Amino acid sequence: MATLLPNQSLTTEQSAFFNDTMLFLATNGADGQPQVGPKGSLRVLDDQHLVYLEYTYGQAFENVQANPKVAVTGWDVKNHVSLRVNGTVTLHKDDDLAKRLLADSAHPEATVAVIEIDAIYALN
């Protein structure tokens, strides 16, 4: 069961979870079909945003262009903790944010995907 947490900003502990855990991005395309997959570049940008580099330009990229609502989840097996963030993606290409985040990237051609956090859930 998922429990909606009262905060919409990440706590220090939640930020550590999202930075230190393998994360999965769930999307829905224009046809309503769900898609989920790991995103190795996903991390915390600040207490109200997650960010990942989109460099495969696969199904997830197509889906967020059609429907920017996403979920991000991970599972810390050792500590038996699982969290989920629901949010809205904004894509950045060739703007100041993208240039800053891609400056030292192995994927300078990537699109930067910023997820604004709408809700945070603890998964029991």
23 - beta bridge partners? 74
Q: Write down the pTM of the prediction.
A: 0.93
How much is the average pLDDT of 80-104?
92
How much is the average pLDDT of 6-32?
95
- Sequence ranges of the domains in the chain: 2-123
> What superfamily does domain 2-123 belong to in CATH?
Electron Transport, Fmn-binding Protein; Chain A (2.30.110.10)
| The residue count for the chain | 124
Q: What is the pLDDT of residue 97?
A: 87
Q: What is the pLDDT of residue 108?
A: 82
- pLDDT-derived band at 119 (thresholds 50, 70, 90) equals very high
Closest C-alpha to 30, from 55, 59, 71, 72: 59
Say how far apart CA 55 and CA 73 lie, in whole Å: 20
